Structure 1
Amino acid sequence: MRKRHLTAAALLTMGWAGAQGSGGCGGTTGWPEWLPRATQGAALFRGDIGGLPIALRLAPQDDTRYFYERRGIDLDLTARRSGQTLILEETVRKTRASEPVVTGCFRLSPTATGLKGDWIAPGKASLVVTLNRVDPEGLPLALGVSPGLLSLRTGDPMAFLKVNRPWVKAADGRSVREPASGVVYPRVPGGSAALNAALQDRQLKYAVMALDCRAMLPQDLQNDPEAGYDVRTQLTFQKGQLLSLRDEVYYDCGGAHPDGFTEGAMLDRTTGQPVALQTLWPRLTPARQKELYLKAVQSGMDRDCLDVLREAAPDFTAHLSPAGLNLTPSGLPHVVAACAETGVIPFATLRAEANSASKYFSSVYGR
């Protein structure tokens, strides 16, 4: 066994020697014959590189990647083969202006339970890789059961592995931090389990986005506090059967410029389900929202922005506050995104249009 391991290491080192000129790990295009039969599509593996825990996704449709479980940041892999050996070439972009460079090479073969082989970085000794096939449906939950968590386990098990670990609850119980991404999101002490599950699912969405964003950043910016994905959330309304919140998101994922967006939500405090604006105000069509919005902002908005918003047909994201219904344009082109100011329509303005039979009517207007 020792001799065979040394032979594999020697071959891998030779691959690097040949790859330094070509910039790759060697091999030819395509997958080993055994791989499609072994994976039947995308397959998930967990194991280690030289004792460091990793998770790896093999996907014949060009979405092969892996991450070290202590970091949760995807590393891109390009698949090739050498005979019946699977070669996975790891690439990293070091700086914003640079092209990706090869930072590691896997050479893997099938075993009864998964994959085994070696990984080597330029100028380093090879490390043994052992990976076991994982059934996503069998992965235990480390968080409270919620629809989003179950959907993530099935639909994106790599993301599930990153976030499915104990989260950090604030001492007052009013917020929770997801440790891999750092995303903090509110909770409602004493609130229904369904409501807090809905808040967990919203946080899951942002945590996965934050980790994806960090993976797109060049290596020198991945720990830069000015880059990445930042979520700021406020609970803006809690009364009767309604809870409302506003998420402000800023992100710089290594592209040409930073960007951001606002997302509002209205939730039922018992079920956690979204509450549509038309449930309370049936006539609040997109056209009516635009009419009310322009009236609300016309006295304080820059004339150029007013002209843009009059001509555009923006969607609106909505949240409630004690002052009324808050509408914020969404989907504007980046060049005019600064025009997306929030307009507030007082509840009294909308009372004649409200559905008094709605169970949420008294939450806004009293009895």
Structure 2
Amino acid sequence: MARIASKPSVSRPPSYYIRQRLLRNKPAMAGLAIILLAVLVALGGYALMPDSTPNANNGLVQVQKKSPGFKATILKLARPNAVVQDVNPLEFVLSGKPTSFSELPVESVHFSGDSLQVQPLRSNNALADQVQVLALKDVLANSKAYTNQQQMAEAVRQQHLEERTFWLGTDKAGRDVLSRLILGTRISLGIGFVAVLISLVLGITIGALGGYFGGWVDKLMLFLMTVVWSVPSIMLVIAISLALDSKGVWVAFVAVGLTMWVEVARVVRGQILSLKEKTYIEAAQVLGVSQFKIIYHHLLPNIIGPLIVIATANFASAILVEAGLSFLGLGVQPPAPSWGMMVNEGFQLIGARAGLYLVLLPSVCISLLVLAFNLLGNGLRDAYDPKIPLTNV
């Protein structure tokens, strides 16, 4: 009787099975796709924004509080004494570039000889402005480069008249909402990254010291965690802002990070309390391995899974905390755009037609990004659970 050859078993590292469980989790993959898209938008920054001025703060009073899809003709007027320094591509992506033109939304434009008759766009609840007569040479940045009126008029048509579409409308200051939402993505992801980084550094250090050494060190660390845990995050942010005498973006980043390390420390402490009794830790102690090496080379690598899961959860929590603080005026300060601050601006316009869009759009962005991190965190939690079977591998 012929002997049936059995399929040889393949030995694979645990990371392979973790990766396979994660890849087969469709909600987690959807969350990861949203996060990657948000990262690309944040990295692109000003290169993707219709309004590439610093902080997307180019406000036009005539087009304030417009609904999504609003279109307007913009006349760019040269600023005779404006000095705009050239920026390299990296500086442009990171910080934008100030414009060398002043912009005027217009309803109609009529060329007449060496002049330009302009009917400004009527702003909300305002009477139509008088027709303005502008000299072509005053509109052009370098009028001496043109030899006749026909060339000057053609240059104005091609270079100084723009049909602009505000895809997501404008806010109460006439700023492009789409541009501010894109820049707000950078702030939300940035504050989440900094907050998670601070929470991991403080939480791992304090939790590892308390869990490994025990005794009075553990009691001291537990007391510190309990005190910080009992202080509301808003009060802690206010205290940090007063201590640093500032309410800038980086103060908000640091303040949110300092409110989130306690949960990391508690998880690390509990994991190390159970791991330090293992045989391989006792063997390392007998062999004279330094306590620093035991903690950072033998204990912490074995709790990397729970740390990754809690980091994704803290990322989502940091975004929510920042949005709440900015809504209250304690987080990111104007003119830097923040999703929470945009919700506040829309909330102040409740009752107006534009108020709904100004509240809904940033709220949807906050919800999607937080949901994406929660889905990814749930997927990572399941991926690191060895009890979940993995078939057909």
TM-score, with length taken from structure 2: 0.22
Q: Report 1 or 2 for greater relative contact order, CA contacts < 8 Å, sequence distance ≥ 6.
A: 2
- Report which of the two has the higher share of helix: 2
Q: Given the two structures, how large is their TM-score scaled by the length of structure 1?
A: 0.24
Higher relative strand content: 1
Structure showing greater Rg:
2
